Chain A
Amino acid sequence: MTSLYETVSPPPGDDVPTNRINLTVNGQLRTMDVEPRLLLVHLLRQGLTLTGTHTGCDTSNCGACTVLFDGRPAKSCTMLAVQADGHSVQTVEGMATSSELDPIQEGFKEEHGLQCGYCTPGMMLAAKALLERNPNPTEDDVRWALSGNLCRCTGYQNIVKAVLWAADKMRAQQN
């Protein structure tokens, strides 16, 4: 014993089934061996240390774990990592470039769309999916699209404003 703490669990034996998967995460191709029971959220957080994807409820309700799966929002606590084989996943880390925030991130900053920030990555990705489909949403459209994402802090008002701010900016950029 060289320290107070030592990992004693044996390394996984040969009988543990693993599957090789190839997936694109934020534009980068990754190859990994995973146990089929590994959840996508755990692959992202623990496997790839992309901790921007949060686990809130772990029961498919809160949307904190939302990622874009082939461009559509999905709750990564309710998907297996093996299901991502051959698919593309985008997380909040893939939104900004090194020099520029995504307009949606800017909107959340400008309109104070977050307090503790726990729900924010999921909110922003759900908003991104909405704006890709509907660049000119009404307030109701925004509330509807975000109704699978829970926020315990803001009362939603500023989140809705942030998304509308981003929609305006993105439309202005188009013109």
Chain B
Amino acid sequence: MYPSRFAYDAPKSLAEAIAILDRNGGEAKVLAGGQSLVPMLKLRFAAPERIVDINALPGLDYHRLDPDGTLRIGALCRHEDLEYSTILPGAFPTLAEAAALIADPIIRTRGTFVGSVCHADPQGDWAATMIALGGRIVAMGPKGRREIEMRDFVLGPFTNALAYNEIAVEAVIPAARGTARGGYLKLERRVGDFATASVAVALDMSGDTVTRAGAAMAGVGGRTIDANEAMSVLVGKTLTEESIAAAAKAVAAAADPRTDHRGDLEYKRHIVSTFVTRILTKIASTEQKAA
């Protein structure tokens, strides 16, 4: 399979990259890890006139914590950088668990966190974690910098809120107030398959009380499903069998799965409920051990 013809630039500065996008008025596309874009070019689902490869932009391959614990992930931070990260497991367990479940190890050497969020695939794993954690995207364009909350960033399947001349330079994820707890579970038929269903859970805890509760899902709807409202039944509560069951029920009700080759609707809803229960039960037992 061959992509259709396009021109190619690999600018060495962000300003230059933005200027090229601006000049080409919507006919140019950003190339980051290329692990979604190149397959789309080959299938000719995408046929841009120009590709702007951002891999030569300096200083975007970081992920780091601010002094207040806020996590910043640069546009060239690859999936595998997060898989092997030493800072995620304690501070952002939801992200730490998801990292190793994205695609396969070879795709993970190139694909980027920010690129995945920009791609806005309803089955993308990182977008679900971003929604559960209340993250935002930093965009740079000819008019400067703006921040877009994750809930406003994904407009629909494969559609994000960036203007044609904007580049997403960073994902920002706020620190937990109190203790960060969370998890990510994904059912896939084989390594490298997209999720049959997956669930991201992110909690802030003060002692054994939940102070903020986030959840989101991939694979169980035509878009990433925001289940933060459903999950808020946990706020102010401790994790008991009853509160966990109530959360699992609420999140499963927020899912909007369809029957397809990966399984039928009821099966997928059942997986969601099981995953929420498993993640929360594990957190509850960690809390007990800590007490």
Residues of A within 8 A of B (CB): 16-17, 19, 35-37, 39, 58-61, 63, 66, 69, 72-75, 78-80, 82-83, 85-86, 126, 144-145, 147-149
Residue B34 lies at the interface, judged by CB distance under 8 Å to chain A: yes
23 intermolecular pairs with C-beta atoms under 8 Å apart: A17-B6, A17-B7, A19-B8, A36-B7, A37-B4, A39-B38, A60-B39, A73-B105, A73-B109, A74-B106, A78-B38, A78-B107, A78-B110, A82-B8, A83-B10, A83-B34, A83-B53, A147-B104, A147-B191, A147-B192, A148-B103, A148-B105, A148-B106
Identify which of A74, A144, A149 gathers the most chain B CB atoms within 10 Å of its CB. Answer: A74
A66 to B233, CA, bound (A): 47
From 17 to 34 in chain B, residues with beta carbon under 8 angstroms from any chain A beta carbon are 31, 34
The closest CB in chain B to the CB of A148 belongs to: B104
A141 to B41, CA, bound (A): 33
Return the contact of B38 from the options A63, A72, A80 (Cβ within 8 A).
A80
B38-A36 in contact (CB<8A)? no
Residue B160 lies at the interface, judged by CB distance under 8 Å to chain A: no
From 99 to 139 in chain B, residues with beta carbon under 8 angstroms from any chain A beta carbon are 103-107, 109-110
A146 to B105, CA, bound (A): 8
A78 to B43, CA, bound (A): 12
The closest CB in chain A to the CB of B80 belongs to: A72
Least distance between A152 CB and chain B CB atoms (Å): 14
6 closest A-B pairs by CB: A148-B104, A36-B8, A148-B106, A147-B191, A37-B3, A72-B109
A21 to B109, CA, bound (A): 22
Digitize B32-46: 1 where CB-to-A-CB distance is under 8 Å, 0 elsewhere.
001100110110000
For chain B, the count of residues having a C-beta within 8 Å of the partner chain is 30
Q: 19 new A-B pairs (CB below 8 Å) besides A17-B8, A78-B35, A148-B107?
A: A37-B2, A37-B41, A39-B42, A60-B39, A73-B109, A74-B110, A75-B107, A78-B34, A79-B38, A80-B34, A82-B53, A83-B10, A83-B31, A83-B55, A86-B56, A144-B105, A145-B105, A148-B104, A148-B191
Return the contact of A17 from the options B5, B109, B191 (Cβ within 8 A).
B5
Least distance between B111 CB and chain A CB atoms (Å): 10
A-chain residues with CB within 8 Å of residue B41 when the two chains form the complex: 37
A58-B1 in contact (CB<8A)? yes
The closest CB in chain B to the CB of A147 belongs to: B191
B-chain residues with CB within 8 Å of residue A74 when the two chains form the complex: 106, 109-110
Check A80/B8 contact, CB under 8 A, given A39-B2, A63-B106, A126-B106.
Answer: yes
The closest CB in chain B to the CB of A63 belongs to: B106
Least distance between A156 CB and chain B CB atoms (Å): 12
A-chain residues with CB within 8 Å of residue B38 when the two chains form the complex: 39, 60, 78-80
The closest CB in chain A to the CB of B55 belongs to: A83
A-chain residues with CB within 8 Å of residue B2 when the two chains form the complex: 37, 39
Least distance between B230 CB and chain A CB atoms (Å): 33
A78 to B7, CA, bound (A): 17
B10-A82 in contact (CB<8A)? yes
Residue B51 lies at the interface, judged by CB distance under 8 Å to chain A: yes
A56 to B174, CA, bound (A): 42
A61 to B190, CA, bound (A): 11
B39-A59 in contact (CB<8A)? yes
B5-A16 in contact (CB<8A)? yes
A-chain residues with CB within 8 Å of residue B34 when the two chains form the complex: 78-80, 83
B-chain residues with CB within 8 Å of residue A86 when the two chains form the complex: 56
B-chain residues with CB within 8 Å of residue A85 when the two chains form the complex: 10
Least distance between A38 CB and chain B CB atoms (Å): 8
Least distance between A57 CB and chain B CB atoms (Å): 10
A80 to B3, CA, bound (A): 10
A72 to B171, CA, bound (A): 24
B7-A149 in contact (CB<8A)? no
B192-A79 in contact (CB<8A)? no
